[in-house]
Amino acid sequence: MRLPQQASHPDSRRRWLQVATATAAALWLPRSAWSQPRWPANPFTLGVASGAATASSVLLWTRLHVPGVSVASQGPAPLTVRWEVADDEGFQRIVQSGQSLAPPELAHSVHLEVPGLAPEHWYFYRFMVGDYVSPVGRTLTLPRPEAQVQRLRLAYASCQKWEDGFFSAWRHLREDKPDGVVFLGDYIYEYPARNSKVRVPTGGWVVTLDDYRQRYALYRSDPDLQAMHAACPWWVTWDDHEVQNDYAGLQAGNSGFSDPASPADFARRRAAAYQAWYEHMPVRPSVLTQSTAGLASGAEMRIHGRVQFGQLADLYLLDARQYKDPQACTKGIGLGSSMVNPAQCPAWQDPGRSLLGLRQEQWLAQELAQTRSRQTRWQMLGQQSLFGPRDAKAGSGQNLWNDGWDGYAPARRRLTDTLRQHAVANPVFLGGDVHENWVGHVKADYSNPASASIGVEFCGTSITSRSGGNARTAERLAANPHFVFADAQRKGYGLLDLSPSELRTTLRVVDDVTRPDAGIETLARFVVQAGRPVVTIV
């Protein structure tokens, strides 16, 4: 799919640039120069977060929000937010402080880029409005690109449906003390309360900008999720439910039951969803390539990028929704996903179709071509779904899901060819979306079981979102031998412990997502030796 790059109205773009610049910068203007907020209660109900770190800077986030108080009621002027960054949790050794803006155009969110920090260093931060003080956050800057990093612990997670369970997995992850979190999509779900199993989400269908803001505020009100955001930096991407189930590029998806929005309204809905995602995520203002008004006419929100952890690892965070070509041969009304027999789908092997979009594919190929010159040991690809084929049909023939990489097999082959062409040393694919744990090998040619392994894959389960259970797991593993482990029942997250010599992955699962006091245990452990793309269960 080719996204149009239409310019927004000059006046709206000029206003947006003024807002974004003032919001992002570390500003030290006199307090009298700023609009003063008047809040009836503590406005830091959504907590704090950090992300987009470099070796010398970090992005700090908060949003001023009191339930029942509308954005419009606070007036048209941006509001003043004071902030501090310190070496200690008690803020006795403050290293930087200042004031920034919370503009109404962005729901009084703050995206503050703090420069001039030391590399590979933990900092504490907080925000203040009037007499109110936010929770204290903790964040970490990256090592310098040339640094010889000996260890790194990252968590990967996805799919947290409010109505399917409690977010207790985040409480346990905080106790595991990762250096950062890689979130791979489905931060919210757009559904109404119809299928609520444990908790009932407020509001109905999520369609408008205000709907999306309210749904994010609901999720962000969860104390375990708030505490995990405050514990370390996050790197985030999205999947479909941040907008609509199974959407692809500028084509609407299919909710499966009575979504009130028509496909003709989808561009406007997607623009509202993207804006609300930005307002609630610790990402830099530069991800918006045009004004928020430009999103409604198809302008991209650039969220894919590379993060370098010294000489130890690169993380390529990918976007498998915004530029995606529509799914091939979907049954029924033709929108969204379904299982497909590839032999009955002429478009299945069309090389012109792409999951990432051709421009993002080209960007990724160029980045992977430089891995040898950068001399990073591990190359992690954080994307939304299962990478390797997963045939659901026993015996002859195939039955494949058309929404994931299986539905874009030529694009998958282009990526594996790129890995081989540039002799990428240690590719590690991270995924989500399927609500199940799948662990296996990335093959040079999946049609040949004897094909060489060129990387490894860890596709994670959900934080809460339901799955079908393990009745067919053994059968599906036997039919897809490039996978070495699968579990379709338990919920939780994955931990990656990287060193120059090996990668250790631990699958952590809660015992019952329907209980807020759920316990945690280790489901499985794996090790991968550097230079040898083989997953070993330990």
| d(C-alpha 360, C-alpha 365), whole Å | 9
pLDDT tops 90 at residue 289 = no
Q: Would you say residue 399 lies in a domain?
A: yes
The predicted pLDDT at position 16 comes to 54
Tell which residue, 57, 177, 75, 76, has the closest CA to residue 119: 57
Range of the domain at 536: 154-197+238-262+304-538
Q: What is the mean pLDDT of residues 485-507?
A: 98
pLDDT in tens, 81-106: 999 999 999 999 999 999 999 999 99
Cα–Cα–Cα angle for 411, 414, 419, nearest 5°?
Answer: 130
Better-predicted residue by pLDDT, 259 or 413 = 413
pLDDT of 387 over the 90 cut: yes
Q: What backbone torsions phi and psi does residue 473 show, to the nearest 5 degrees?
A: -60, -45
- Determine the Cα–Cα distance for residues 409 and 392; give it in Å rounded to an integer: 16
**Burial of 20 (C-beta count, 10 Å sphere; 0-12/13-18/19+):** buried
Tokens of 120: 């590979």
What pLDDT is recorded for position 404? 97
Token pair for 400: 């494949």
Across the range 410-437, mean pLDDT stands at 97
At 3 the pLDDT is 32
Give bridge partners of residue 251 from the DSSP assignment. Answer: 248
CA terminus-to-terminus distance, the chain: 43
Decide if 352 is inside a domain.
yes
pTM of the model: 0.94
Classify residue 76: in a domain, yes or no: no
Number of folded domains that form the chain? 1
To the nearest whole number, what is the mean pLDDT of the chain? Answer: 92
Mean pLDDT of 119-145: 97
pLDDT for 230 beyond 70: yes
Question: In which element (H, E) is residue 234 found?
Answer: strand 234-236
pLDDT score of 290: 83
Q: Is residue 68 part of a domain?
A: no
Note the pLDDT of residue 257: 66
Q: How far is CA 451 from the centre of its chain?
A: 31
The average pLDDT across 55-75 equals: 93
- Where b means 16+ CB within 10 Å and e means fewer, 128-153 reads bbeeeebbbbebbbbbbbebebeebb
**From 246-255, 311-320, 373-382, 403-412, the region with the lowest mean pLDDT:** 246-255
Name the percent of the chain lying above pLDDT 90.
Answer: 82
Assign residue 529 the CATH number of its domain.
Answer: 3.60.21.70
Residue 462 has a pLDDT of 98
Task: State the Cα–Cα distance between residues 256 and 233, nearest whole angstrom.
Answer: 35
Amino acid letter, residue 336: G
Q: What is the mean pLDDT of residues 486-514?
A: 98
